[in-house]
Amino acid sequence: MDAPKRVVQPSIEPVTVSEAKTHLRIDNNVEDAYIASLISVARITAENRTQRTFITTTWSYTLDSFPDAIPLPNPPIIDAVSLQYISVDNVLVTLSSQDYVVDNVREPGWIVPKYGKQFPPTYDEINSVIATYRAGYGSLATDVPAPIRHWILLAVGDLYDQSRSLSSEKNIIPSNFVNSLLDPYSFFSP
């Protein structure tokens, strides 16, 4: 399965700078920008480890032709924004949402033709099908499950303590317990 591309970044992080500063026991604003960058690094790392999307974002996934069902990586899936394809006449066409259905209950999510319909043939060229969809737990930081948010805080703490120099003495985020916070949310593609 090819990797989808994030076309709209999350508008917020699952953890605020204020929450991270409380966790770090910092009471000044001197390093707010640095702490914000550590939060982003921790979120991206956690999303990569779990193969999930935390805050609502838009993804684009391309395929060379229509399969029977289009898998939508990086759950949880919210909905499809559009389904486009290059027709046999070499014209970009947007498929009507009346012609397909999004399964956002199972993981991965899927786009399948509606009952009695089928996907049309495509132009014989790479990237002939483009599925654009939204995924994430929601648009609020509090929509993200608490164990994931705690993992991010612990990762920020570890990064803050160690990231100013690379040391081989102590691994960043080495604890099995800390890593196990993400285990229930980890999704591994079939």
Structural domain includes residue 185: no
- Residue among 154, 167, 126 at smallest CA distance from 45: 154
CA distance 81 to 8: 12
126 and 66 assigned to the same domain:
yes
Name the average pLDDT for the chain.
Answer: 89
- Examine the domain organization and report whether 152 and 91 are in the same domain: no
Residue 145 lies in a domain: yes
Residues 107 and 151 in one domain: no
Residues 50 and 64 grouped into a single domain: no
pLDDT digits (tens, 9 = 90+) for 80-110: 999 999 999 999 999 999 999 999 999 889 9
Q: Note whether 68 and 15 are same-domain residues.
A: no
- What is the CATH classification number for the domain harbouring 46? 1.10.3230
On whether both 29 and 50 belong to a single domain, the answer is: yes
User: Is 13 a domain residue?
Assistant: yes
pTM: 0.83
Cα–Cα nearest to 113, from 121, 95, 125, 101? 101
Domain count, the chain: 2
Verify that 35 and 76 share a domain, yes or no: no
pLDDT of residue 189: 47
Domain that holds residue 67: 60-133
Same domain, 156 and 95: no
